[in-house]
Structure 1
Amino acid sequence: MTTTEFIPVSEKTYKAISDLKGPNRTFDEIIADLVEHAKKQQLEDDVEAVLARKRFVEL
């Protein structure tokens, strides 16, 4: 399913995304990759926070 939305971004942000895009990729692919990267980074940050507390729940 495709939805067409208009998301206002600054010229600087648009240029940064365009630079990542290249000739053979879509903005949708770039944004999806950025979202996936952000999710993975959040998981890593959460795991590091748990490990830093050194408190675990026994299973």
Structure 2
Amino acid sequence: MPASSKIELPPLPAKSPGKPTGKRYKRQFGVIVLAEDEPAQKALFEDLKAQGHKCRVVNT
């Protein structure tokens, strides 16, 4: 078990919806690739999609 799962969290505020129930979340794994510029980002995205990967474009 990761150490972060052993950290005590503060109580939720009174009006919060509470902890999600069921299987709302699933484990995911990802890789961030830094592109030189927007055309390179587009080319990487298209290449990875063509290989069957599930991709998202992010600009920061």
Indicate whether the TM-score tops 0.5.
no
Between structure 1 and structure 2, the one with the greater Rg is: 2
Report the structure, 1 or 2, having the larger helix content: 1
Query: Shorter-normalised TM-score: what interval?
Result: under 0.3
